[in-house]
Amino acid sequence: SEQLFMEMAEVMATEGWRDAGYEFVCIDDCWMAPTRDRQGRLQADPKRVPSGIRRVAQVHSKGLKLGIYSDVGNKTCAGFPGSYNHYDLDAQTFSSWGVDLLKFDGCNSDTLELLAEGYRHMSLALNKTGRSIVYSCEWPLYLRPMQQPNYTEIKQYCNHWRNFHDVYDSWSSIKTILGWTALHQDTIVKIAGPGGWNDPDMASIFVFLSQLVIGNFGLSWDQAVTQMAMWAVMAAPLFMSNDLRHISPDAKWLLQNKEVIAINQDPLGKQGYQITKDMNFELWERPLSGQAYAVAVLNQQEIGGPRNFTFSLTLLGNGLACNPACSVRQVLPASRDWGFYSWVSSLSVEVNPTGTVLLKV
């Protein structure tokens, strides 16, 4: 309902979320009326959004931006009117309402050719409006069962694109996304950069645009730390799917952690990748600006107690990250300086089951 979104916007503005960098309030599927108006335009559901989307766009007065949802096909995934054959009109409508982000789903498109043409057409239509609107695509997700996505083309048209299934509030979901990303990193890591990002998932607003399910009920604390750390390493867009009106202080601390967000938003814009996997440990790195690296040590083991993982610093940055020496700072699960190390040193990191230690080198 519009009341829910306005309440969430108020919390974002007054409780530090906007200042931490969370700018967008995003509306997902089911906001529409079942039919278009007499001029063929999309219209808001009169019960859910009685004042209209333009009224919800008043979140701008709080220094926030508005995201909205539509679909490339005849109908949205929930069966509401899709944008097929209405791309230009819908782009103009969204612009006139003050929309700043469009999540464009891929349900109910008859062929792969129509799917691709629809994503291209809407990209051009959004640009024609003259309004800056972030374009969030699900193009590769719907292509992949039939053919390998052309990420070079997708980046020409989209600002970020969804690669994987809906993320759920469970460790199994988080683990599966990380496994898929590592398996396909040779294809997807090189295409990410300023203006175009891989999105592990973008199903509904916290549920789940690259979704951080932190602050809900399905993840332990260590698993929540893992999601925040790994989404930062993967340079994923950070969209929360949770109720900010009822969130624990610990979850708020984690989601607003400035050091982690700085890694996620690093201006170099390179996506991280898995370096090695050994004995249920995974070692990931992400090149950062200023010749720094984010390093994540993930313990995939789900039973027992904390375990140590020891690795040589020569593994990082193709051997150059610590040459001839480097400082190491732990960012998660708590921040503390580890001091200076020489190029030939090894680090021993203690990690809880399903947890992650995030370092900045």
Residues with a known catalytic role? 105, 166
The one-letter code for the residue type at 332 is L
DSSP assigned state of 228:
H
d(CA 357, CA 359): 7
Alpha carbon of 241 to those of 102, 255, 276: distances in Å? 17, 11, 31
- Answer for the pair 93, 42: CB distance below 8 angstroms, yes or no: yes
Q: How distant, in Å, are the alpha carbons of 103, 106, 115, 170 from that of 122?
A: 11, 12, 11, 34
Residue ranges of E strands in 182-335: 197-199, 202-203, 208-209, 273-278, 281-288, 292-299, 307-312, 325-332
| Residue of 91, 88, 89, 110 whose CA lies nearest to 99 | 91
Contacts of 150 (CB under 8 A, 6+ apart): none
Closest CA to 118 of 147, 82, 148: 82
Per DSSP, the three-state class of 285 is: strand
Q: Could you tell me the strand order of the sheet in which 292-299 lies?
A: 273-278, 281-288, 292-299, 356-360, 325-332, 336-342
Q: Is 80 left (phi over 0), alpha (psi -120 to 50) or beta?
A: beta
